[in-house]
Each structure stands twice: as C-alpha cells, then as structure tokens.
Amino acid sequence: MNSARTRSALKLALAMVLAYWIALSMDWANPYWAGISIIACSLTTLGESMHKGLLRLGGTFIAIAAAIILIAALGQERWLFIAAVGLWLAFCVYRMFGTSQWYLWAAAGFVLPVLVVGSGGIPVNSFEVVVLRAQQTVLGVICYTLVYSLLWPTSSRRQFENGVAQAIALKRRFISATLDTLNGQPTQEDIPELRMQLAQGHASVQAMLDGAVLDSYWIWERQLVWKSFLSDMVLLDRELQRLYLNAGDIQNPQNTDGFTVLCDALREVDQRLSDVEKILQGDAPREEMRLIKLPDPRMPDSSDSHFQKAATSATAHNLELVLELGQSLIEKIVNLTDIGTQQPVLNASAKSEAHPTYLNPEMWIAVLRVQAIFLAIMCCVLFIPGFPNPSLVICIGISLAMNLALKPEVSVSFVMVLATVLMVVVGAIHMVLLPTLTQFWELAILLFVVMFVGAYFTSRPEQMILRSIILIMFLVGLQIDNQQSYSFLFFATVVIGLFCILTVVQMTRYFPISLRPEDRIEALIKRFFRSSEYVVRHSLSYDSPPPGWVDRILLAYHKAEIDTIPTKLVPWISVLPEGALRSMNKPDAFKVAASLEALSSKVLEFTDIRRLTQAEAMQRGGGDEMRHWRLAVADVMSEIVRDPGAIEPQDLETRLRTAMARLETTVENTLNDAKDASLEPSDYNHMYRLLGAYRGVSEELLGYSRQALNIKWPDLRESRF
C-alpha cells in the first residue's frame, strides 16, 4: 500500500465496483458508461480528477442540449441531420484548440453521437437515452470523487507548488548556462533539452493549477494572481531564451565594456528567482533588491565593433526586462503567500501575444480529419447492407477521432493488434467465465482484479492512452447488464466494426492531408520559412503606413506560425519511424527543431525592433543597405522553402558575412557623418538593437543550415506505409 501506483490502482478498482453496484441495483442499462467516466477521471490528484470529471460532466450536458435541439429540429431529415452533426463536431474541434479546457469540448463532441444514435433510430427513445447518459456520467464522477476523497487523498496544492518550484529551478539552470556563455565558457547544460523541459513544465503547471483550484480553498481564493504569476513565468522564459542567444553573440566578452555589469545583472536575476524559491518554502526574501545600472548604449570609449556593441545593447535590454519580470514574480509570490506586508501586484511591461485559433492550420487539419472520419463511417453504415453494430461503430469512431484531434502524430496501427488480442481475451471471459457468476460479489471480484491489474501496469503518464484503450474495451466487450445475454456473434461483429474504424482512421493519415511524420516534418519546416520570408520581407517599420485588415491578419498568421512551429515539430520528430532515420538519429532531428526555435526568437525580435523609431541620420544613411540585407535574407528563406536541405552552409556564410560587413561599414560612415549632439541615447539604443537583430537573424539562419546537413532528406521523402 506504500506504492503510489498501488494506491491509485486500488482506488480505480474500488470506484469501478461501487459504480457497477449502484447502476445494477438501480436497474440502469449500460453501466459501462459510468465505468468509462471513472477511467477518464482517474488522474494523479483529487483536484485533477475532479477537474476532468467536471469537464466531462459539462461536455455531456452541452451535448445533451445540442442533441435535443438537433433531434427536435431535424429528426426526420437524414442528410440535414448528418450535416448538422458534422458542423457540431467541427465546432467542438475548433473550441478544443487554444485552451486548457479542451476536454470539455472533446466530451461535447463524442457524447453527441452516443445520444443521437443510442435510441436505435427511434426519436421517442432519445429522451430516455439522454437521461440515462447523464445519470451514468454523474454516477461515475461521484463514485471516483468519493473513493478518492476518502482513501489516501493527494493534495493538488502541494503538487502544484512543487511544480512551480521545479519550473523556477529550470530557469535558474538556464541562467547558469547563460552566465557560462557570457563568460565564454562551455556550458554543461543541454540547451535544446532544457528548452523542451521549460515548455512542457509550464503546460504541466497550468494543468496542476486547474486541479488545485478545486481541492484547495487557499488556491481558489488566489487563482487570479496565480494565473498572472504563471503568465509572467512564460514571459520570463521567452526573455531568458532571447537573453541566451544575444549573450552568445558577444565575442571576447572579457574585453567588452560593461561586461562586469552584465554578469552582475544576471546574477541578480538568479538571486531574485532564489528569493521566489525561498518564499515558496515559507522563508523571507532579502529585504532589498540590488539596483543594477546597465551599460550606456553609446559606449563612447569602447573600441569594440558596432556588432559587438549591438550584441551588448541587446543583451542589456533583455536583462532589463528579465530583472523587471523577476521583481514582478517576487511581488506576486509575496502577496500569494502572505509574507510581509501586502503590496500591489506589479505588472511587467512585457506582454504575451495570444494567437487566434482560426489562424492555426493544425486546427483546420484536425477539423478536416474528423469530418473525413465521420463521413466515411456514416457512408459505411448507410450504404453497406447489414453493417455490424452501426451505433457502436459510430460512437467509437467519433470518440477516437476527437481524441486524435490534438495528437495527430499518434498512429493507430498498433491498436489493430491490441484490439484483436483484447477482444479474444474479453470474448473468452464473456462466453466462458461470466455465465458462471451468479452473485454480484463474484462479478465484483472480476471487475476489481481486472481494473487493478490494468491500472497498476499502466500507471505512468505516457501510458494513459494505453490504459484507457485496454480498460474501456474490457468494459464495452463484457456488456454487463441486469438482463445479461451471451453471444459469440456480438464479438465477431465488434471485431469487424473495430477494424473498419481503425482502417478509416489509418487512411486519414494519408488522405486528404498526409500525416506521416516524415511528411509533416518537412511541411512544417517549409511553412516556417515561408512565414519567416514573409515577415522579413513585409515587416513594418516605425514609419510604415497603418496596414489594412488583410495585411494585419496575414502578419498575425505568419508571426503565429514562426512562434509555434518549432514546438509543433517536437512530437512529430519523437514518432519518426526507424526507416526514416537509417543513417541519422533523433537527436540530430531535435537539433534542427532547436535551431528553428532560436531562429524563431530572433525573427520575432527583429519584427518588434523594426517598429522602434530610428534617428533620421541612421535612416538616411543606412536604410538602403538594411533593405538590401532584408531582401537577401528573404531570398535565402525562399530557397529553403523550395528545398529545406539545399542550402550549403559555407556559401550561405559567405553571403551573409558579406552583407553584414557592408552593413557595418554603412553604420560606421553614418555615425561619422552625424554630429554627436544630434543623436540621443535612445537613438543609439534603437540603432544598436536593430543592428543586433539583423546579425542575430543571420547567425541563426546559418545555424539552421549547419544542422540541416545532418538530416538525410532522401530518407525522409521515401514512400513507405
């Protein structure tokens, strides 16, 4: 009982037995509906389980309302009814993207077919099915919540606070790596892996907060401040990554003016995060924060090159934002934990940019795939005479399609073998063992043993999908009811129906859009550089006329693509088949994703800096040369769109170095021609930040071309099934 996996499996098994006992005692049909709700809600902590249970309840009631409206309005119009269900599924998939409450809309999507086809095509039975589904869903959620509350309840608050502490520790490791880079020393950290951990950590902490709000009044009372705190954590990650890249552009840092100040500022950031950790542990922070005066962007006594000054200026700007965010985190955590006097919560000047869901191509691909699966299954049911178990096939098919919407990289090919083995085992239990069980306690032992063993051996987070498949197929296959019947034909038709579903789902990996990992990786890389080319070529400067609404939408779309595609690449790389790897390995492919993430940060920073006001002398003297550089880089990106592996690093380095040398010469001549009195400190700051942005994009573009050499593109493009 000391093992967490043992306690978790035991609670799931007890909740399942309790739900079946109540459902059979009340003479409710389809008690496996309550069992499915229990399996769906079985998570690590009480708060997380309650949160998912409430989402499932909410989705069920939304689907109930939609089902009643559709049956009442279109119950006699077959094709209009099918079209309306298809539109409802599309709407639910749309709502699943861009929110942590995605399961609410997933449930609303896959529950609707259960309600509309569960009546067997008889509209007058639909209300009974709706009521029964609501009863069973509520029963499952209540049973699991009751068992979980009474037996070894796990606090979501403690897990959430531990998650926040781990996220802070990751940031301090990133700062340590940045300090090593700033000192010109090799870092011991695997930066791409650390970035991935930071991204995954924030998604996990956000989910923990959703659960902790439900089982901790202390968290619930402060949830708005906690959400603001987590938002600042995301902003801090973005600025830390930019800081790391800009610090890497500083050459011979020991000889750079203001180097000591930059290192002191970085250590102060680390100290402020250390203060946050102390407050989380219940200790008091430092009484006073150190005030750091960052280097003057003009650096008049420095003999460094202009690009060196640009890298220092960019690093100083990032440090200023990071220091502000670190102070904001301290102020918020002090208010959250009631340490010291209550102070107003600071709002950091950096803002996160939310990308509209309708600009996400993956959302439209998911909508298209769900529609294709739904229509294909409906055609099979309507046009194949005697199609086996049509209601079950429709419900399982749509449920599978909705759950694959956010994880298109998952292949269902392994499920075919798993389904066959499971149905053979479940069929044997149904036909041989189940008829011998005459008392409920005997059935309870069977349910308890199977649920316990299944949950115990699939306890890791990455096994949750496998657990759901195994346990749900077991419950559906047994078909336990008060009016029990035993039929070999049922299992034979279920197996046929499952193979039809899996065949349709597998076909949608190739049509209408290929979802093979090899194809998606190259397609995402091409999309990234297509958007980068557009942004570099058409990004707005401070003196650009206000864009029209079409231009605003296009620019928002391309910036969203640049920001999100490196993250989208990771799951596809993770599932690359062995045939596509051959003479390369996955770490090489992950390095390509990391290089795109670095380039993404630089391109987005470039678009922001271009909006800064530039001195008239700089605009007059260097405008043409900067425009020439932008067009040259855009042309390189256009070449990569045509063939992501075609750019030779040596040739690209020569082209970019030549353009950078001309640009630096132009800046030097412009500054020599301008009078010192005519340039304000802000003019120097904006000029050097813009110059650093040009250099940063060039360096990271070159970095991608070097990493792309490790990818065997012919192997990726080879046709395979």
For residue range 245-298, list pLDDT tens digits in order.
Answer: 888 877 665 555 567 788 888 888 888 888 888 888 877 777 666 666 666 555
Assign 212 a pLDDT band (cuts: 50, 70, 90). Answer: confident
Q: Are residues 310 and 396 in the same domain?
A: no
630 with 644, same domain: the answer is yes
pLDDT at 450: 92
Please indicate, yes or no, whether residues 9 and 126 belong to a single structural domain of this protein.
Answer: yes
Same domain for 197 and 142, yes or no, is no
Least confident of 239-243, 531-535, 637-641, 653-657: 653-657
Give the domain extent around 97: 4-154+357-507
Q: Name the band, by pLDDT with cuts 50, 70 and 90, for residue 340.
A: very low
pTM of the model: 0.88
Q: Is residue 345 part of a domain?
A: no
Q: With respect to residue 351, please indicate whether it lies within any of the assigned structural domains.
A: no
In this predicted model, which residue has the larger pLDDT, 392 or 1?
392
Burial 664-679 (b: 16+ CB within 10 A, else e): bebbeebbeebeeeeb
Residue 12: the pLDDT is 92
299/322 same-domain check: yes
Regarding whether 382 and 429 lie in a shared domain, the answer is yes
Domain membership flag for residue 223: yes
Residue 594 makes CB contacts below 8 A (sequence gap 6+) with: 191, 192, 195, 566, 707
Report DSSP state, residue 300. T
> Do residues 100 and 192 both lie within one domain?
no
Q: Give the CA radius of gyration of the chain.
A: 29
- Span 467-485, pLDDT tens digits: 888 898 888 888 888 777 7
Question: Is there a contact between 378 and 370 (Cβ–Cβ < 8 Å)?
Answer: no
Residue 1's identity, in one-letter code, is M
Could you read off the pLDDT of 598-617 as tens digits, one per residue? 899 999 988 888 887 776 66
User: Residue 300: pLDDT above 50?
Assistant: no
Q: Which of the pair, 367 or 51, is modelled with greater confidence?
A: 367
pLDDT in the model for residue 721: 56
* 190 and 150 housed in the same domain: no
CATH number, domain at 312? 1.20.58
**Tens digit of each residue's pLDDT (9 = 90 or more) over 139-151:** 998 998 889 888 8
**8 A C-beta contact, residue 30 and residue 174:** no
Residue 685 lies in a domain: yes
Q: What is the pLDDT of residue 151?
A: 85
What pLDDT does residue 76 have?
81
Are residues 502 and 524 both part of a single domain? no
User: Residues 6 or more apart from 434 whose CB is under 8 A from it?
Assistant: 446, 478, 480, 484, 486
Reply yes or no on whether the pLDDT at 204 is more than 60: yes
Q: How many CB atoms lie within 10 A of CB 456?
A: 17
368 — pLDDT class (breaks 50, 70, 90) = very high
Angle 78-83-87 (CA atoms, 0-180°, nearest 5)?
Answer: 150
pLDDT at 348 over 50: no
Last residue of a domain, one of 337, 366, 385: 337
pLDDT at 66: 92
Is the pLDDT at 214 greater than 90, yes or no? no
Position 623 scores a pLDDT of 66
Number of domains in the chain: 3
- Residue 347 counted as domain residue: no
pLDDT score at 673: 66
Measuring CA to CA, how many Å separate 216 from each of 333, 380, 547, 637?
17, 49, 48, 51
Q: Identify whether 245 is part of a domain.
A: yes
Selected residue with higher pLDDT from 192 and 350: 192
Residues of the chain with pLDDT > 70, as a percent, come to 88
What pLDDT score was predicted for residue 676?
Answer: 54
**Residue 577 shares a structural domain with residue 535:** yes
- 166 with 309, same domain: the answer is yes
**Are 66 and 111 in the same domain?**
yes
Instruction: Give the pLDDT score at 599.
Output: 92
Mean per-residue pLDDT, 575-592: 78
Domain boundary among 337, 369, 403: 337
pLDDT digits (tens, 9 = 90+) for 385-428: 888 888 888 888 898 899 889 889 888 877 777 877 888 888 88
Last residue in a domain, options 337, 368, 390? 337
Model confidence at 228: pLDDT above 80: yes
pLDDT at 149: 83
Inside any domain, residue 679? yes
Is 350 within a domain? no
Does 95 score more than 90 pLDDT? Answer: yes
| pLDDT tens string 657-692 | 887 777 777 777 776 666 554 667 777 777 778 888
